[in-house]
Structures are given as structure tokens and as C-alpha cells.
């Protein structure tokens, strides 16, 4: 292989589809792997793991050593961005992330000054990972989309429906626009720095885009992503940008058409056959196995993979999950998935 993932991400509608497709997996470096759990215990806190080039490199490489994925994705977290912007961020075991909820008056004080300096250990990890990876393995950088990062900054934690942030938007729309503007500018700087450090492509995770109505989706998800793509492409024209607007549903087509992304990540609720029909002439498709099929294994896993491969064949396509792998996933199910995908 010669960076087959990057080859597909950089391909155009006139190019032939590569088959079998390249494969990587969201959250592929994580708690389902025993070697990750060992390294996590050695690192101390979760943020210590994210900010240690040594440990971040190690956990990024673990799934490459074990499975030989076509892409390695930087091990970090979307919340290093608010941390770099001076907001207090912590991770409580068994609970998840905790932030001091931002109030409208604090948004004006947010500044990008010094933010990239704060993230230098992450950027060093990118360089170290690229140097250690096999030449044929594509290195993916990433960040959280402004809307998704903002939901944690407003609520101070993850919630099931992001109601605290939606209420905040209705009460303080002008201030929230300012927050999105800061996060958009920060995303451009951070992704560009990752590319300069060695990332071959980048993905923007908008994990909570699916809970917004049309007008708010356009203003807070689509438009910021359009600005991010333009900003990154102005500095790095040849670097592919993947957008993952989870749950975007009826908005996928407009999101693809207007943001300028090179590849769209699909969640498992969006039919691959429909994506091929509506989107594949414009972008590379990525996805979209339901992570619970990977947990279940057996017939459910085999049929889920077969259905996706059958629907995507002939399109520019990258096999992935429809969201991140979950901690309870058996390791041998991942091996079985890779074997089936690579058999075509």
C-alpha cells in the first residue's frame, strides 16, 4: 500500500474507486484495548495522557501495531481547546469531563493568545507519531467542531440533549455567536498547526450537530465548518478535511455542498445507498457501521459490514464506524471486521 487512505481522501470524482476500501476507526486508540488501559494507568490523569507526547504517541500507535489500520488518529481530546483558552477542564473517572460553565460575560475575555503554546505537547506528539508510523499509514489530526465544543463550555459537562446550551443560545444569542467565532478561529489555528507538525489529513467532529433545528444547524454547524475548511485550505490546499456532523440527517446534503469538505463521515442512521446516490459525486464517503454491531459480533456484525460494502461499492469510500468504538467491544470483533472489509 502507498498511503491508500490518503490516496482516497485526495481523490476526485473522476478517479476510480479503490477497493477494498481503506479502514480506520473512530476512537480506535482507547479503552477497549488492554494495552491502552495499562498506559492510561501509568500516565496518571486523562489530561496528563493527552499532554504527554510520550504517552499520546504510544496509545496512538497501539491499534496500528495490533490491527494495521490504514489510518492512525492522534490520541487527544476535543476539550484541550477550551483548556488552552483558559477554561478549567478536568476528567472525573466514571463521570466524564467537567468544566466551569462559561457565562455570557466571560466570553468576551476569551483569547487565542498563548493557546497554541499551551498545545505544544500535543503538536509534539503529532510530529513524534508521524516519525514512528509506517510510511503507508495516514496520520489524521482532529478537533471538535465549534458547536460541539461550545456545548461542553456552556453546560460544564456532557448532557443527553444539550438543553443547557440551547437555552443559552435563545437567551444570549449575540454572546454565543462570539463564542462560536472564537472557537472557529481557534480550530483553524489548531488544525493548521497539526498539519504543519505532520498530520496528513484532519477530521472535525461535530458530535452534537443532530440536536439542532435547521436555522441553528446552518448558523452554528454549517457556517463555522465552511470557515474552518476555507481557513485550513488557504494555508494547506492539498490537505483533506473530513467533516463528521453526527445526526445531521436531512442536512447532510447541504452540509456537503456548502462546507467544501473533501470527505463526509456518516453516522449509522444515514443509509449508505442514499449517501452514494446524493453525495458521492461531491465527496468521499466515510462510515458507517453501527458500533453496537461491533459489540454484538457474529451475524449482526457480518451483515452490517456486508450491507455497507455492497451499498458503497463503486464510490470513493473509507470504511469506519458511525461513531466511536465503545469500551465493551471485544478485541476479536475488531479483528473480524478488518478481515471482512479487506476481503472486499
Q: Which of 36, 51, 70, 77 is the catalytic position?
A: 77
Bond prior to 79 in cis (omega within 30° of 0)? no
Question: How many C-beta atoms lie closer than 10 Å to residue 127's C-beta?
Answer: 17
The DSSP symbol for 103 reads -
d(CA 311, CA 313) in angstroms, rounded, equals 6
Question: How many C-beta atoms lie closer than 10 Å to residue 259's C-beta?
Answer: 24
332 among known catalytic residues: no
172 among known catalytic residues: no
27 among known catalytic residues: yes
Compute CA 80 distance to the chain's CA centroid, rounded to the nearest angstrom: 14
Q: Which of 152, 190, 252, 270 is the catalytic position?
A: 152
206 among known catalytic residues: no
Q: Which of 32, 40, 290, 293 is the catalytic position?
A: 40
37 among known catalytic residues: no
Supply the angle between the helices 34-43 and 53-67 in degrees, to the nearest 10. Answer: 170
d(CA 111, CA 98) in angstroms, rounded, equals 21
Q: Which of 31, 157, 177, 235 is the catalytic position?
A: 31
d(CA 344, CA 306) in angstroms, rounded, equals 9
Catalytic positions:
27, 31, 40, 77, 152
Amino acid at each position: 500500500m502507498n498511503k491508500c487512505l490518503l490516496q482516497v481522501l485526495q481523490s476526485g470524482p473522476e478517479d476510480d474507486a479503490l477497493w477494498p476500501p481503506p479502514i480506520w476507526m473512530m476512537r480506535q486508540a482507547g479503552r477497549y484495548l488492554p494495552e491502552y488501559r495499562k498506559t492510561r494507568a501509568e500516565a496518571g490523569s486523562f489530561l496528563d495522557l493527552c499532554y504527554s507526547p510520550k504517552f499520546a504517541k504510544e496509545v496512538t500507535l497501539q491499534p496500528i501495531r495490533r490491527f494495521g489500520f490504514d489510518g492512525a488518529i492522534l490520541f487527544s481530546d476535543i476539550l484541550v481547546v477550551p483548556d488552552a483558552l483558559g477554561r478549567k477542564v478536568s476528567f472525573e473517572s466514571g463521570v466524564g469531563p467537567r468544566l466551569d460553565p462559561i457565562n455570557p460575560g466571560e466570553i468576551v475575555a476569551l483569547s487565542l493568545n498563548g493557546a497554541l503554546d499551551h498545545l505544544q505537547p500535543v503538536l509534539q506528539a503529532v510530529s513524534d507519531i508521524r516519525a514512528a508510523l509506517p510510511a503507508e499509514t495516514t496520520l489524521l489530526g482532529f478537533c471538535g467542531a465549534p458547536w460541539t465544543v461550545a456545548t461542553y463550555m456552556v453546560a460544564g459537562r456532557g448532557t443527553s440533549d444539550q438543553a443547557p446550551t440551547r437555552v443559552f443560545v435563545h437567551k444570549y444569542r449575540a454572546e454565543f455567536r462570539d463564542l462560536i467565532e472564537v472557537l472557529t478561529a481557534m480550530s483553524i489555528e489548531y488544525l493548521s498547526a497539526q498539519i504543519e507538525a505532520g498530520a496528513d489529513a484532519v477530521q472535525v467532529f461535530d458530535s452534537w450537530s443532530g440536536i439542532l433545528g435547521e436555522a441553528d444547524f446552518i448558523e452554528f454547524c454549517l457556517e463555522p465548518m465552511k470557515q474552518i475548511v476555507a481557513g485550513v485550505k488557504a494555508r494547506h490546499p492539498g490537505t483533506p478535511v473530513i467533516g463528521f456532523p453526527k445526526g445531521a440527517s436531512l442536512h447532510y446534503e447541504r452540509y456537503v455542498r456548502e462546507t467544501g469538505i473533501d470527505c463526509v463521515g456518516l453516522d449509522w442512521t444515514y443509509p449508505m445507498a442514499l449517501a452514494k446516490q446524493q453525495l458521492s459525486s461531491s465527496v468521499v464517503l466515510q462510515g458507517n457501521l453501527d458500533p453496537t454491531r461491533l459489540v454484538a459480533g457474529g451475524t449482526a456484525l457480518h451483515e452490517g459490514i456486508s450491507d455497507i460494502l455492497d451499498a458503497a461499492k463503486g464510490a470513493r469510500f473509507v470504511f469506519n464506524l458511525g461513531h466511536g468504538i465503545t469500551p465493551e467491544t471485544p478485541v476479536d470483533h475488531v479483528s473480524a471486521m478488518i478481515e471482512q472489509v479487506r476481503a472486499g
